[in-house]
A and B are shown apart, each in its own frame.
Chain A
Amino acid sequence: MRKQENEPDRVRRHTDPVVLDRIDEKIERNIRFYATQAPHALGNRITELENEWDLERVLEANAATLAFSGAVLGLVSSKKWFLLTCGVMGFLFQHTVSGWCPPVPVLRRLGFRTRSEIDREMFALKVLRGDLREGSAASAEQHLAV
């Protein structure tokens, strides 16, 4: 709880402490596991993290699909379908201003992470790979160019 009060990531601030601990533990376990792996395994994991779908993206895809279906049905069948669009857009608005809306706890429980959480793991792996060391700067650049 304490660490959540001044948490700059709004989604993390509103995540249930138990779920948050589980997410953080998983990040730590991943980092500890990959710290002992060969550089190419680290590279593969970094690529995987770069392509991981973050919470905002999952939420946007869900909201867009639901609201879009509502609007199309509203146009071709009953006007009442626009109520669905309105409801979903209301939740999205709530999420934008507060960082919380009903689907977020569900998605968090499913393990979806925010981009800053993913980036945290990714940068930790980059440090462990030695991307910050003088000699490896060139090899780091090669990795990034892949």
Chain B
Amino acid sequence: MHAQIKSNDPDPVRRVTAPEVLAQIDKKTEENIRFYAAQLPGVIGRRIEELQREWSIERYLQLHMSTFGMITAVLALTTKRSWGILTCAALGFFLNHSLGGFDPRLPVLRRMSIRTRREIDREIFALRALRGDFNKAALPQPVVPSESVQSVLRAVGI
């Protein structure tokens, strides 16, 4: 499970997440998958819809950046110009984040278990596989349920 915690993770947010927080997030995803693996297809379907609508970390970060940026920029325009220093600092980190680097808001959001779109998509894919969406393509013979959960978890990298 901890094999996924690596510095060359293609997900920039995972790359800058503390290993223990990353392990906690992955553990939660794995628990979700194991729980829903035992549910009826209808329940899995509702869970997939819920996951598709889950707010990703980018959305929280954009929401914070845009409100904070607007407020400080308006204050810089109308009151003291030095408010602009805050705007600059927040935007500098935001730019750094978009280029794959660190932003101080990320650890706060990650500790609140906010996931990246890639992490959410992984859970969706695992549930689809367990529901049998890929049966014709990948699982021609029936397999033991516990083993199929295991192979699906491996396929999504958990």
Contact = CB atoms under 8 A, between A and B. Distances in A.
Interface in A61-89: 61, 63-65, 67-68, 70-72, 74-75, 79-80, 82-83, 85-86, 88-89
Contact of B81 (A51, A75, A123): A75
B76 A67 contact: no
Contact of B63 (A71, A96, A115): A96
Contacts of B67: 89, 93
Chain B CB within 10 A, most for which of A8, A132, A144: A132
A41 interface: no
A78 to B, nearest CB: 10
A89 B70 contact: yes
B157 to A, nearest CB: 5
Interface size class of B (residues with CB under 8 A): 35 or more
A82 B86 CA distance: 12
A33 B122 CA distance: 23
Interface stretch (B18-26, B28-36, B38-46, B146-154): B146-154
Contacts of A75: 76, 81, 84-85, 88
B77 interface: yes
A88 B91 CA distance: 11
A44 interface: no
Contacts of B152: 132
Interface of A: 8-9, 47, 50-51, 54, 56-57, 60-61, 63-65, 67-68, 70-72, 74-75, 79-80, 82-83, 85-86, 88-90, 92-93, 95-97, 114-116, 119, 123, 126-128, 130-134, 137, 140-141, 144-145
Given A60-B97, A137-B155, 11 more contacts: A60-B94, A67-B69, A75-B85, A86-B77, A93-B67, A119-B121, A119-B122, A123-B121, A127-B138, A131-B154, A132-B129
